[in-house]
Chain A
């Protein structure tokens, strides 16, 4: 599919729609990445990336497989620390504070910058305990009643409460794939983070479950800064207001989603979104 006029493509139409509700007051960026490089051993996976993440926007990272978008996402809450050979340079700030500085407590950081993974990974515990896990370890609930409230609130925000309220003691792994993923989102919400990183959250789900998650992402926007990595350009166009296109470890283009899909500056972006490679 090769198009000369990108503005006519369905992608562009979707992006145009998301543009309509983009007239919001934008404050300071929640997270600010400057000149970030990520290495695995001697191999450079990310080269000089600058990005701002806003609470008011959903930010989508798109790009072909292996372009480094997931690697960069994992740099935002230092999940790369779990890979011994990974090394990050440059600065990434959360509310102006460098998250790679020695003063930053990585445990606290991850409580503030939560993460949802590609494959739903509920713990092999009850639904209740899955949600209560974070509040318990961070001491967010004073009493059992408090904890109950947090669990209910998180499940409600994740749109899962009505489906599971009568079986909170069932195992989280017994839910369907889509429910499991919403459980994981609820689990992330339960520790009241400021930013939620989502690494291809719908790639293991069917279209109906995907639609629910996308709806949920839209509802969560404004309360949490949301960054989503996705392989689906339609999804990026539907849910995000900012889009970053990665290619071979470089950030090729970053801007308003509508601009990226209707009027990309770079030839490579245009080629990718029109399906010429990727």
Chain B
């Protein structure tokens, strides 16, 4: 009996429990005379159904992994398994072939050596599915018994069901948090491995980045893992060039949309601006690599710059700035809109023009929100991968010239992890250390930004 039929069975039992408990509670209700019982019959129904379904499903999930092991053990213990190779691919293949035939997924074995294993597999599968079936029925029965024993007119099934709903919601939200933690733990783990091979000081403060995956893994040259050029490239492209584009344009479009645009213009322009945020970053990447970068090189040539790079930091930064505009503008828009109308009226009533009001009252009042928006935008820009992979270069240069080729943390992570690198080698593990640094920086930026926004909201509520 397969797991899916078992699950259907359990759900069926749950439905039966629901119906029975509900009708019994309805009887209480009629018997009570005034029709008032602690909980409506439907809550008793849910209470019973939950007690039947949840423990049984938990058991089934656990059982499906345990029974797997038990089946393999049974087969290996049989005399037919003596002929198996002791380890390796051959052994796995034979086992899985025999298993496929035994469970009915295949008609015959390709490798005749697997044939004698079919019978022990059939035996084991039958045995453990019967055990699983019986135990799940027992669990369901126990759950049902427990629920029905508590089924009394004054039992508060309603609050119990409420609590079950609460638990479900809690678990759902925990998934996201646990995933974040899991990512962090795995990053930390690999980062620690990297730092056991390369001195963290070399990594954080060295200025030469040229990891060599071909070098000896046991004795890496720490001086080749200086990540400063990467950090600089990331900041220069993501936090400087991109923000020089995004902050003024984003702010100005937010002010225009919020303060000047007629409602009809606003209903058209705002969604179009938001479309910018929805363009896949790989498309921005093409645009940067195929249109902007050559254009910048041609302009630089015509201005007499000798031998400009075709993969300039400027091209990647400019396009990234355009990508970030909607983030800055929508945060700025929200913050300006959150400034009370009374503030604006107060300024206008003093004889200030609209422009003076925006400059001297609205923007300063909205500043915390705007700054938070910019920080979120920076954290997005420095974590952005696709544009820089396509438009920035792989060469780690420490330079303040925007026409030079530069690389970023994300580009190097991609470079280190795509390829044949071994996961024991520092040249690969360096990717995790870089990822960890990036994660920490964006995390801190996000936390600060969220706190600032929270303060700001409180100020006007």
Chain A contacts to B: CB under 8 angstroms: 77, 79, 82, 107-112, 114-115, 117, 119, 121-125, 133-134, 137-138, 173, 184, 187-188, 191
Contacts and interface: CB of A to CB of B under 8 A. Distances in A.
A107 B345 contact: no
B360 A110 contact: no
B342 A119 contact: yes
Q: What is the interface of chain B mostly: helix, strand, loop, or mixed? A: helix
Q: What is the interface of chain A mostly: helix, strand, loop, or mixed? A: helix
Per CB-CB distance, the 7 closest pairs between chain A and chain B, nearest first, are: A111-B351, A115-B349, A121-B342, A110-B351, A121-B346, A134-B350, A124-B365
Nearest to A184: B346
B305 interface: no
Contacts of B352: 107, 133-134, 137
Contact of B350 (A82, A173, A188): A188
Contacts of B347: 123, 133
A117 B351 contact: no
B356 interface: yes
25 contacts: A79-B345, A79-B348, A82-B344, A107-B351, A107-B352, A107-B353, A110-B350, A111-B351, A112-B351, A114-B349, A114-B350, A117-B345, A117-B346, A121-B342, A121-B343, A122-B346, A123-B347, A125-B364, A133-B350, A137-B351, A137-B352, A137-B356, A138-B351, A184-B346, A191-B350
B248 interface: no
B280 interface: no
B271 interface: no
Interface in B300-349: 340, 342-349
B351 A108 contact: yes
Interface residues of B, number: 19
B364 A82 contact: no
B367 to A, nearest CB: 9
Contact of B345 (A82, A112, A138, A173): A82
Contacts of B459: 124, 173
Given A134-B350, A188-B349, 18 more contacts: A107-B353, A109-B351, A114-B351, A115-B345, A115-B349, A117-B342, A117-B346, A119-B342, A123-B343, A123-B361, A124-B343, A125-B364, A133-B352, A133-B360, A137-B351, A184-B346, A187-B350, A191-B350
A230 to B, nearest CB: 18
Interface in B388-402: none
A53 B233 CA distance: 67
A207 B347 CA distance: 27
Contacts of B348: 79, 82, 110
B394 to A, nearest CB: 48
Given A121-B340, A124-B365, A124-B459, A137 B346 contact: no
B342 A137 contact: no
